Amino acid sequence: MIYISAIGMINALGQSNAEIAANLTRGVAPGMRPRPGWLQNDLPVVLGGVDGELPPIPDSFAPHRSRNNQLLLAALAQIQPVVDEAIRTIGPERIAVVLGTSTSGLDEGDQYVNLRLNGEESSSWHYAQQELGDPSRFLSRWLGLSGPAFTLSTACSSSARAIISGCRLIEAGLADMAIVGGADTLSRMPINGFDSLASLSTTLCQPFSRDRSGITIGEGAALMVLTREPQPIAVLGVGESSDAHHISAPHPQGEGAIRAIQQALQQAGLQPADVGYINLHGTATLLNDQIESKVVHDLFGTGVPCSSTKHLTGHTLGAAGITEAAISALILLQNLPLPPQDFSRSPLDPDLPPCGLLHTAAPLARPVILSNSFAFGGNNASILLGRVA
């Protein structure tokens, strides 16, 4: 069994586990607010941002200087003692780094292009900043590691798949410990891209509500340390699939999502009734919420509490899977109340297949949580976490 020995994260809910746990319980996200200057039409749009200063990246790491990597350093600082002890006892060659992203340093590239279009040069821009492989390359180099290091980019399932890959590296004997996670930063390209798809809400997203109109994009980073050494929280089972039904729309019967969930349950040796909470992908787009409701209804009925936390973090794209798995782990570790879905601005969509959507906070009755990540191209990942001690 693979265990989680440390968690660090930063997002619109807060800049530490303590802040995030407190704000999750209150249902308040300080970083979620209208932010001008991101849309091409100059209209304000609600985005989930990280406010305040981030750790600097020194000149010796200038080719890796991006906000994405600064977010990673902020998450790393929270798990640094565990990582340092592992480097000392296990050795740098036996520690893997597997991360997910969809933007990497794309915003820095965007700023560079704007300068060039205006006839200006930049001495601070390096092409490596926006390479998709840069987050894991940077973090591995920053820590002086020589074990496997790679980045996955499968849209919204990227960092969930990073968790799965880290587990497999340990199980295959290729690493004794894995630092897994992901980061994504606010960037004009994905924000305007989702707007062009008519999938972006300019107001705060409303998952599973009657009046939902699209996603709220957020930024953030999270890291987990995976190990074989027994810890209170374990990765009980994982599942993944790629139904390739459509480049952006989910399979109409949710076939790939169902396969991923069933794989995770089978690997864990659990039945649907054993799950205490489902952290839904819940993007607040018309199709995602409709299909995910159907999938949960078909597999779990209405007996398992579930909700999406994206109205509190925004959709952090490549960092969404690790962000929501880390929130799930915090709920297990600290016995936090389950976060309800916010229907204060619009009621539950009555046309959705019924499932166990929470309208009010509730205690976790069974110490097992399923976290779903369903991405473009039918790229699906499901992770079961459980309290084992």
Number of helical H runs and strand E runs in the chain: 10, 12
List the structure tokens of 27.
Answer: 């249902």
List the structure tokens of 160.
Answer: 């969930």
Does 281 participate in catalysis according to the annotation? Answer: yes
In whole angstroms, what is the distance from residue 266 CA to residue 274 CA? 12
Amino acid identity, residue 161? R
In whole angstroms, what is the distance from residue 384 CA to residue 369 CA? 6
Angle at CA 387, nearest 5°, toward 234 and 354? 100
**Which is it for strands 2-10 and 233-242: parallel, antiparallel or unpaired?**
antiparallel
In whole angstroms, what is the distance from residue 66 CA to residue 72 CA? 10
Does 156 participate in catalysis according to the annotation? Answer: yes
Which residue is catalytic, options 64, 126, 281, 311?
281
In whole angstroms, what is the distance from residue 244 CA to residue 250 CA? 9
- As beta bridge partners, residue 241 has 380
Break the chain down into helix, strand, coil percent, rounded to 5: 40, 20, 40
Q: Are 321 and 100 in contact (CB under 8 A)?
A: yes
Buried b (16+ CB within 10 A) or exposed e, 292-308: bbbbbbbbbeeebbbbb
Which residue is catalytic, options 126, 156, 251, 311?
156
Alpha-helix residue ranges (DSSP H) falling in the chain? 17-26, 67-89, 106-117, 134-143, 158-171, 188-196, 255-268, 286-300, 310-313, 320-334
Does 64 participate in catalysis according to the annotation? Answer: no
Which residue is catalytic, options 64, 126, 251, 315?
315
Q: Are 352 and 211 in contact (CB under 8 A)?
A: no
**Which is it for strands 306-307 and 177-184: parallel, antiparallel or unpaired?**
unpaired
Residue 317's region, left for phi above 0, alpha for psi from -120 to 50, else beta, is left
Give the catalytic positions in this structure: 156, 281, 315
